[in-house]
Amino acid sequence: MRIRVLGTAAGGGLPQWNCGCAECAAARRTGHARSQDCLAVSGDGRAWYLVNASPDLRTQLLAAPELAPVPGTRDTPLRGVLLTSGELDHTLGLLTLREAAGLTVHATAPVRRALHEAFPVGPLLAAYTRADWHTVTPGEPVELAGGLRAEPFALGGKRPRYAAGLPDHADWVTGYRFTEDGGCARAVYAPGLADWTPAVDRAVAGADLVLLDGTFATADELAKRTGGARRSPGMGHLAVRDSLPHLARRPGPRYLYTHLNNTNPLAGHSPPGTADLAAAGAAIAEDGTLHEL
């Protein structure tokens, strides 16, 4: 299995265009930028799938040699997209794929509805290309090209703001456990994690690599750094400090934190607190890295 980390920042990226926090100022000064969260995964190195489609997708695709078109053609190894949520930073890039000859899009029922009604990406794409939409149900594996299996698991019921009028569901946010043909390599991707549940325990058991929600370093990060009142649990994100004990009790996988908010000091070039991460077998994911399992 091959995994290309295309982007590691939360919505807005690092630096965020309208933010002058210490982390954004340092990113402008040092050039240590992060594009918005996105992943590419393949079971055989030939058929590739995106997990989420960030607003930075065009630049991310151009930087990934595995996803380049065959010379003289408009054919690429990209076969489809799996969505972990309907958030704008995970779905705006779908419109970038309108030039594709065709693609499959996998999403849970509430996310599919949101992307056909509240934010009509589905109808917009249909005017340009053939997009086959497939409903993802937690607990029901999805067989993908290239000998890749994706096992979705529910992570939370946080709806995108634009979908506030749609019903509550427990699977607005999902994670995926990927297994290559033969079950020799296993990876987990969970950039939105509201709480550490038994489903998360089952997903990380026996995994080689786990890319995990690292949006906020602490639950009160926004309140301290921006003066806001919102805490990370209410925004659907378990803070790094609160997830580290779970990692320490579940050694074995290589844990990488991704989906880092621009206010998170762990997103910087030389972040503090990395010793605590290392003690739990964890580190910070970086844009562009390739993992071969």
239 residue type, one letter: A
Residues 209-250 have pLDDT tens digits of 999 999 998 887 876 666 555 665 667 789 999 999 999 999
Residues 70-90 have pLDDT tens digits of 898 888 999 999 999 999 999
Burial class from Cβ neighbours inside 10 Å (0-12, 13-18, 19+) for residue 75 reads exposed
Structural domains in the chain (count)? 1
pLDDT at res. 223: 65
CB atoms within 10 A of CB 238: 25
Domain extent, residue 14, equals 2-292
Closest CA to 93 of 126, 51, 65, 128: 51
**Rounded Cα gap, residues 140 and 84, in angstroms:** 15
The residues, ordered by sequence, that sit 6+ positions from 271 with a Cβ below 8 Å of its Cβ are 265, 284
Residues 94-128 have pLDDT tens digits of 999 999 999 999 999 999 999 999 999 999 999 99
Sign for the CA dihedral angle at 140, 189, 172, 44 comes to negative
Q: Is the pLDDT of residue 56 over 80?
A: yes
Confirm if 54 and 90 have CB atoms less than 8 A apart.
Answer: yes
Strands 48-51 and 78-82: parallel
| CATH code at position 241 | 3.60.15.10
CB atoms within 10 A of CB 49: 26
Lowest mean pLDDT among 113-117, 130-134, 140-144, 220-224: 220-224
Closest CA to 79 of 59, 55, 57, 51: 51
The average confidence (pLDDT) of the chain is 93
* 3-state class (DSSP) for residue 188: strand
